[in-house]
Structure 1
Amino acid sequence: MEFVSPIDALFLLAESREHPMHVGGLMLFEPPEDAGPDYVRRTHERILREASFHPTFRKRPATWLGAPQIGWTQESDIELGYHVRRAALPRPGGQQQLLDLASRLHSTLLDRHRPLWEMHVIEGFGDGRFALYTKMHHALIDGVSGQRLMRRTMTEDATARDLLVPWNLPRTHPRNTDEPSGSTFGSAARNLLSAAGSVPALARTARDALLRQQLTMPFSAPRTMFNVPIGGARRVVVRSWPLERVKQVAKSTGSTVNDVVLAMSAGALRGFLREREALPDKPMIAMVPVSLRDEDDNEPGGNKICAILCNLATDLADPFARLEAIKDSMHRNKEVYRALSNTQAMALSALTLSPFAMSLLPALNSVANPAFNIVISNVSGAREPLYWNGARLDAGYPMSIPLDGQAANITLTTNGANLDFGIVGCRRSVPHLDRILIHLDNALTELEESH
């Protein structure tokens, strides 16, 4: 049995019917010209023949000495037909029917008696395209790892007909069997002792981060309509924007693409709340996950992220002033992490987000200010056109996790010449979620016109 790391265990322990803890993705493909009418069926049949599994895709939660969810066991007999399913859209087979299906799929819990992942092959589009919806428990994988995993199943060669699946890819970095795994009890104990030895240094770092560097303090975020209890049903909305538009704004303002994306999101949230007469006087705070994975780390498994809190400056009416405030907030807060090791960065993130973990308790969530108002995650993706079994990837929309007190999530990724946004919200708590897409477009236009 492998022990679950503390950060991965949090995703298992916090899960309930109201809080599914999986991340997902919705990919749209244009079949090759020679596909034929049975292309999707034949593709599904080929997938079902890929019955070799990376260890990550065999994991399911184990109980050890009566304590649940502290370890993983390896499933020896995987029923692939359960994990990989084929579905068809009702007529007219457009984007709305696809999003209705994706919303339902993203609302359901993964079965903990089986490995914690699924893939759905979806046909029935009126325009001839097909889709893949995938989901995997966040205890097994983070967004960056999942994005890289799916990227490795694809190719830049439009003529290739190899069909690669995420659970059966070649290892890129074979494990050194002379070194113990990071998930073994011995290694975990060594890491704990190492962390304990660095407590004074971490305390000094935290004091510097939270006081002298003036990091946005947890629980300073205003309460908004997003910071309410949620139900288990989800609504998913998606849209793509040309990456070049965002890059031009970044270039003309001396910002990064991520700064502009945060400013787009801030403008959209401001517009969405203003039209409901619900905009707070204080600026909203976003939690921005930042990957700690090396560029060549393509192996699935576990979470390697830190958390930066960003002032979204939603109290400012001027879009350029808002962008400048966001840029300054991100720069100052990133500076704190640059001086830290990965272990220290994750530990500081845990300290910063400890109020968020406490807010998962309903009693606290009803009286305390939220740790932050929303999660906005920009996951690096491919800049070149990609193909899978000869089909061109038209769009790849990431889907993440709303929580009690965090009723909506904005995640985006790069796909060729586009930025693909996936917004997931509680179906009950955040009505008219699609209006955020309209405000995102308005916010980008305002940034283009303001400078």
Structure 2
Amino acid sequence: MSKLSLLDLGFFIAESEASPKHVAGLLIFKRPPKSGAAFAKNLYRDYLAATAVKPPFNRIIQFSLNALPHWRATDHVDLNQHVFFHTMPKGENDRKALYALVCKLHTPMLDRSRPLWEVHVIDGLPDGQFALYQKMHHAYADGITMARWTAECYSNSPSDVELTPVWTQKHGGHGSRAKQELLDLTWKEVTGNTRRFLGIGRLAAMLFLESIKLTKNAIALPFVSSAKTPLTGQVTSGRQFATAGVSMDRVNAIRTRTRSTLNHIALTCLDGALRRFLVDQGVELRRPITIQMPVNLRKEGEKTAGNKIGIIQVELSPPTDDPYVRLRNIGYSLRNVRTMVDSVAPEAIESYTIITGLVAQIAEMLKLSNKMPPMGNTLVSNVPGPKEHLYIRGARMEEMHPISTLPPSNLLNITLFSYAGDLFFGLIATDELPNLERLGTYVQEAFTELEQSVSDAHA
């Protein structure tokens, strides 16, 4: 038996048919040279034969009246309930059709009566391509952990054809390492509450100073962003998915010239794209866009399962037509936020996340999200991925797209993911958000505009 953290438990409490709490990835591959048309089908069959399922992929969530919610390991996992095969018909197999299929797979909740994960092999894409769509419950892992698990199960060379499905690899400590982790956990329980209490006090003081305008750009206040935008409201079932992408060479060129980080540049492009998108919908904000931004609370080298993240609110740039000015404004804001986060105990950030998330979740459960101000205009996270191409049985992974869940009151979630020399933007939204594909186009156009603005400023 394994207990859940408060944050992991929160994903189950918040979950509904309209707002499932799983994270996913869409991986697009190119068949190896001289491989047959049955390559993907054979891969699916070999997946079904990989029956040695390891934690956490053999765990079922247990709720009862006489015990706290906990994970229970099952001795038998029927892979036919977790691994699936799809063939896209000719003439209906382009990128738009693939995304539509992925949205159909991403919409329903995972069945809680069995382990909470699925892998779908999707064949029939043009030019010898196939795809894998894999999803798991957010209580199993956060986005960073899921990306690491995925990368660990693929090869760095096309000549390495050994198959290592993610569910066959044990994720977590064992032996003396597990005992040490248990001792560490016990010590954290003893000392964590003190750090949590002191940290919450410090964080509350910071938010108070921000509310009376004695500080600026430390951390944005929750529930004060503009409520009347197409980006926010009551989350409903049905999903749509779009992507955008730019090469890391272009990103790094701007980083070098402006001494900015990848986050600064990506958020600058998103800020410009979101403002243009909102203008299309007849909304012109006079204040900065506020995003919810997950922050990783793990120590360097820590590789535990589950979730260890906090979510804080961050203001982007005040309205401006100059992308270079926007970049500078966002860089200033993010540097201050990073300083603030580093000065507060991780336990306090986690508690803050739970408290604000609970308020938003209650509003959503009572169907008040269309009336209450949201925590932010959207959620944006950044998940670092492998720097080199990965392979499965010689098939090269061409693209790796994150597909996340929607927080309460947000109809759009954006995940940044860097992979093999490209930066991908994964946009997941409810069906009610209009023209999501256009937003992806605006992201790429905003990046080109930023390149030109930086070039002009340094000419």
Question: Could you tell me the percent identity over the aligned residues?
Answer: 28
Partner of 1:77: 76
Q: List alignment gaps of at least 5 residues for structure 1.
A: none
Aligned-partner Cα distance in 1 for 2:81–2:367 = 38
Partner of 1:127: 127
Deviation, structure 1 residue 358: 4.2
Cα distance change of structure 1 residues 76 and 173 upon mapping to structure 2, 3 Å threshold = closer
**Corresponding residue to 1:367 among 341, 353, 371:** 371
Contact 1:311/1:325, CA 8 A, preserved across alignment: no
Superposed, which structure 2 residues align to 1:1-40 within 5 Å?
1-40=1-40
Aligned-partner Cα distance in 2 for 1:110–1:211 = 40
Cα distance change of structure 1 residues 281 and 432 upon mapping to structure 2, 3 Å threshold = same
Aligned-partner Cα distance in 1 for 2:113–2:183 = 24
Partner of 1:164: 164
Contact 2:417/2:424, CA 8 A, preserved across alignment: yes
Superposed, which structure 2 residues align to 1:60-99 within 5 Å?
60-65=60-65, 70-92=69-91, 93-99=93-99
Contact 1:219/1:355, CA 8 A, preserved across alignment: no
**Corresponding residue to 1:318 among 315, 318, 322:** 322
Cα distance change of structure 1 residues 265 and 142 upon mapping to structure 2, 3 Å threshold = same
Instruction: For 2:202, give the aligned amino acid.
Output: T
Does residue 285 (structure 1) correspond to residue 290 (structure 2)? The answer is yes
Contact 2:94/2:125, CA 8 A, preserved across alignment: yes
Does residue 421 (structure 1) correspond to residue 418 (structure 2)? The answer is no
Does residue 439 (structure 1) correspond to residue 442 (structure 2)? The answer is yes
Aligned-partner Cα distance in 1 for 2:360–2:249 = 35
Aligned-partner Cα distance in 2 for 1:182–1:61 = 25
Superposed, which structure 2 residues align to 1:392-407 within 5 Å?
392-407=396-411
Contact 2:197/2:348, CA 8 A, preserved across alignment: no
Instruction: Tell me the TM-score normalised to structure 1 length.
Output: 0.92
Partner of 2:212: none
Does residue 347 (structure 1) correspond to residue 354 (structure 2)? The answer is no
Instruction: For 1:319, give the aligned amino acid.
Output: P
Contact 1:359/1:370, CA 8 A, preserved across alignment: no
Higher mean Cα deviation, 374-383 or 335-344? Answer: 335-344
1:300-319 CA distance string (max 9 Å, x none): x2101122322122633322
Contact 2:199/2:347, CA 8 A, preserved across alignment: no
Q: Could you say what secondary structure the match of 2:32 adopts?
A: coil
Cα distance change of structure 1 residues 253 and 53 upon mapping to structure 2, 3 Å threshold = same
Partner of 2:148: 148
Aligned-partner Cα distance in 2 for 1:71–1:268 = 42
Higher mean Cα deviation, 282-291 or 167-176? Answer: 167-176
Cα distance change of structure 1 residues 178 and 449 upon mapping to structure 2, 3 Å threshold = closer
Q: Could you say what secondary structure the match of 1:283 adopts?
A: coil
Contact 1:218/1:353, CA 8 A, preserved across alignment: no
Cα distance change of structure 1 residues 17 and 350 upon mapping to structure 2, 3 Å threshold = closer
Q: Could you say what secondary structure the match of 1:430 adopts?
A: coil
Contact 2:63/2:69, CA 8 A, preserved across alignment: yes
Instruction: For 2:298, give the aligned amino acid.
Output: R
What is the total number of aligned residue pairs between the two structures?
444
Q: List alignment gaps of at least 5 residues for structure 2.
A: 210-214, 455-459
Aligned-partner Cα distance in 2 for 1:421–1:177 = 36
Aligned-partner Cα distance in 2 for 1:8–1:130 = 33
Q: Could you say what secondary structure the match of 2:101 adopts?
A: helix
Deviation, structure 1 residue 241: 1.4
Instruction: For 2:416, give the aligned amino acid.
Output: L
Query: RMSD of the TM alignment (CA)?
Result: 2.3
Aligned-partner Cα distance in 2 for 1:30–1:294 = 36
Partner of 2:281: 276
Partner of 2:179: 178
Deviation, structure 1 residue 349: 3.7
**Corresponding residue to 2:312 among 308, 311, 314:** 308
Instruction: For 2:90, give the aligned amino acid.
Output: R
Instruction: For 2:70, give the aligned amino acid.
Output: G
Contact 2:55/2:170, CA 8 A, preserved across alignment: no
Aligned-partner Cα distance in 1 for 2:307–2:52 = 24
Higher mean Cα deviation, 321-330 or 8-17? Answer: 321-330
Cα distance change of structure 1 residues 100 and 244 upon mapping to structure 2, 3 Å threshold = same
Q: Could you say what secondary structure the match of 1:412 adopts?
A: strand
Instruction: For 2:336, give the aligned amino acid.
Output: R
Partner of 1:197: 194
Contact 1:355/1:371, CA 8 A, preserved across alignment: no
Instruction: For 2:29, give the aligned amino acid.
Output: F
1:372-402 CA distance string (max 9 Å, x none): 1111111001111211111101000000012
Contact 1:384/1:417, CA 8 A, preserved across alignment: yes
Deviation, structure 1 residue 47: 1.1
Cα distance change of structure 1 residues 399 and 54 upon mapping to structure 2, 3 Å threshold = same
